Amino acid sequence: MSPLELLAIAVWVMLPAYVPNNAAVLAGGGRPIDGGRTLGDTRILGDGKTWRGTILGTLVGVALAYLLNLLRPTVVSFLGIGFPVFPLAVMIALPLGAMLGDIVASFLKRRMGRKRGAALPGLDQLDFAVVALALSAAVAPGWFLSVFTVGLLVVILVVTPILHVVTNVLAYLFGLKHEPW
């Protein structure tokens, strides 16, 4: 498989995990998941993790996976690249895992004394991808092993931080986010 094909497949399979966090930025607000509660004297998660952002972000990711499944036959015959079909469990696991990964990262950041919006380079760029992949592997192990070769995983681990940085800087420049990370 050519490097370009590998890159295209990496982006295709990860799109349902990439988009939820961006959708949450647009949809966020309202009641925080932790309900304002603290652990010690710091918030459990903080105001940046809301029910609305999490639920709508996940739904947008599921809808995107569904759309990619619909478009797949046309795109495959047009480009000749073997994009995989998302089974239902994975259509949910990718976006839900992405949102959970981001929530776990906020939990860890608060425990480390970092305020809402503080950056944690490395974790910020990969948390969502790692948990999205882990949850997908847990709910659909056969599918996961048939799709994710070591090469594809390496491409994903390289491409994800780059895309994350680029989209967040753009969201910041367009005034959608308070911080460029």
For binding to ligand CTP (CB under 6 A), which residues are involved?
24-25, 28, 46, 48-50, 53-54, 99, 102-103, 106, 109, 116-118, 177
Write down the least CB distance from residue 77 to ligand CTP, Å.
37
Q: Please identify which residue in the block is written with the tokens 């995990």.
A: 17
Closer to ligand CTP by CB, 95 or 177: give it. Answer: 177
Closest CB to ligand CTP among 6 and 46? Answer: 46
- Min CB(164)–ligand CTP separation in Å: 10
CA angle 134-140-146, nearest 5°?
95
- If the CB atoms of residues 72 and 116 are measured against ligand CTP, the closer one turns out to be 116
Helix H, strand E, coil C: the string for 108-146 is: HHHHCCCCCCCCCCCHHHHHHHHHHHHHHHHHCHHHHHH
Nearest-CB residue for ligand CTP = 53
Closest distance of CB 97 from ligand CTP, Å: 12
To the nearest whole angstrom, how small is the minimum distance from the Cβ of residue 109 to ligand CTP? 5
Give the nearer residue to ligand CTP in terms of CB position, either 119 or 152: 119
**Is the Cβ of residue 66 or residue 172 nearer to ligand CTP in the bound state?**
172
CA atoms within 13 A on the CB side of 60: 21
Beta bridge partners of 42: 39
Q: Is the dihedral of CA 132, 138, 140, 145 positive or negative?
A: positive
Region for residue 113 given its phi and psi (left: phi exceeds 0; alpha: psi -120 to 50; beta: otherwise): left
- CA dist 80 and 78 (Å) reads 6
Closest approach of ligand CTP to the CB of residue 125, in Å: 11
